[in-house]
Amino acid sequence: MKTQVPAHGRYDIVIIGGAIMGASAAWFLSDDKDFDGSILVVDRDLSYENTSTMHTNSCMRQQFSTELNVRISQFAADFVKNLRHHMDGDDRVPDLSIRSFGYMYLADNDAFADTLRESQQVQVAAGAATQLMTRDQIKAAYPFYNVDDIVLGSINLVDEGFWDAMAVFDWWRRSARNRGVEYIENEVVAINRNVAGTCIESVTLKSGEVIGCGQVLNASGPRAAQTAQMAGIALPVEPRKRYSWVFKADKPLDRDLPLTIDPSGVHVRENGGGTYQCGGHSDIDPGVDPDDFNMDFTLWESHIWPILATRIPQFEAIKVQSEWAGHYAYNMFDHNAILGPHPDLGNFFFLNGFSGHGLQQSPAMGRGTAEIMVHGAYRTLDMSAFHFDRIPAGRKIIEKAVI
């Protein structure tokens, strides 16, 4: 780590973590006409090499079972497709689109099929274009699938698929820096309360500086619990390993492969050029050290490939091109986001626990975080359901479409 020292001794907002969530929040704060304060973003590694952001599937979907999660992804789609407009019309900003090959959920039992039907009603009511498909309809549209065990499928071919998340991430950081947001490569090693213990008054950096702050935002991904613990807060978020493979098929499919969620939980999608990206994890799924990226090289042949070849027989002859392990910032409480202020430590804010949905949710989450930090209330989507206070109250958000 090349330690960088901040330019000032105090900032209105200190953001701990500069990957996709921290970058989104910093940009939306800088975009708020009612906020003209100073922002410091602190990250351990500004290359972001080992972040969840860099290990992502880079896809978005509207197929959730709660209306709020659907609308969060709808905003993401709109934001991505209008990125240049949001960046003040800068013609250097790419004109982005979404490669809408869709997500295909496959249900192999009646209970799961009923869940897909119920979720589709929520999605359609929110304006999504989700369609239910019988076994015969799936086979007609995607003849490469083996659907002998499938009861029902669900797919949405509008604003659901691959997007260039790295372009958005890059322009959030560029634009925010141009507006005066300061990014440094350093590490917060202590979060310090005032004498009364009622608010955060400073953070201590690994390089020794004590930086005063008006508000602190925890956007530290899989390290979120460690960051919260420095403030004396127990946060139920831990790193969980998720494995990815890119492979080339000897006989590529003759049409786009939707991001297919097999009933086993293994998922695979179109990658282009006869290549495909697949993801999954082992049946044993413990929390891991945030620096543990060791690959389980046995998982492919023992678990993943047999499932793929059974579901898509053309994938019996494939060659792995690359493989890696990444982390979900897994919310053990209910697998949904945790954001907003701490109920007792009001200037400490959360942006954590996305459990694999973070990339696609980052535009709406950054916008909502900026709103609650600047205005004390949400002005667009009401995100209060995700607030930390639901955890001690035992008030879970039941989202059935968690991959």
The model's pLDDT over 211-270, given as tens digits with 9 standing for 90+, comes to: 999 999 999 999 999 999 999 999 999 999 999 999 999 999 999 999 999 999 999 999
CB 133 within 8 A of CB 112: no
Mention every residue, 6+ apart, whose C-beta is less than 8 A from residue 360.
Answer: 59, 60, 61, 72, 73, 76
The whole-number average pLDDT for the span 270-290 is 94
Average pLDDT, whole number, for the chain? Answer: 96
Q: Can you give the pLDDT at residue 55?
A: 83
d(CA 108, CA 349): 41
Mention every residue, 6+ apart, whose C-beta is less than 8 A from residue 273.
Answer: none
CB 376 within 8 A of CB 83: no
The whole-number average pLDDT for the span 314-331 is 96
The share of the chain scoring above pLDDT 70, in percent, equals 100
Q: Can you give the pLDDT at residue 3?
A: 87
The CB-based long-range contact list for 312-317 (8 Å cut-off, 24+ gap) reads 312/144, 312/145, 312/146, 312/253, 312/257, 312/260, 312/268, 313/144, 313/146, 314/144, 314/249, 314/251, 314/253, 315/247, 315/249, 315/268, 315/276, 317/249, 317/250, 317/251
d(CA 86, CA 75): 13
Strand partners, 191: 203
How sure is the predictor about 400, in pLDDT bands with cuts at 50, 70 and 90? confident
Full-prediction pTM beyond 0.75?
Answer: yes
| pLDDT(41) > 90 | yes
The CA-based diameter of the chain, rounded to the nearest angstrom, is: 68
Note the helical H segments in 82-216. Answer: 83-86, 110-125, 135-141, 165-178
Query: Tokens 């982005």 map to which residue?
Result: 96
Q: Can you give the pLDDT at residue 331?
A: 97
Rounded to the nearest 10 degrees, the angle between the axes of helix 20-31 and helix 358-375 is: 40
Q: Can you give the pLDDT at residue 264?
A: 95
Q: Can you give the pLDDT at residue 1?
A: 60
d(CA 150, CA 174): 46
| pLDDT(56) > 90 | no
Q: Can you give the pLDDT at residue 104?
A: 98
Task: Determine whether 90 is exposed, middle or buried from the number of CB atoms within 10 Å of its CB (0-12, 13-18, 19+).
Answer: middle
Residue among 233, 235, 236, 178 nearest 200 (CA) = 233
How sure is the predictor about 361, in pLDDT bands with cuts at 50, 70 and 90? very high
| pLDDT(29) > 80 | yes
The share of the chain scoring above pLDDT 90, in percent, equals 94
Strand partners, 324: 244
Task: Determine whether 227 is exposed, middle or buried from the number of CB atoms within 10 Å of its CB (0-12, 13-18, 19+).
Answer: buried
The whole-number average pLDDT for the span 55-84 is 95
Greater confidence (52 vs 139) lies with: 139
97-136, pLDDT tens digit by residue? 999 999 999 999 999 999 999 999 999 999 999 999 999 9
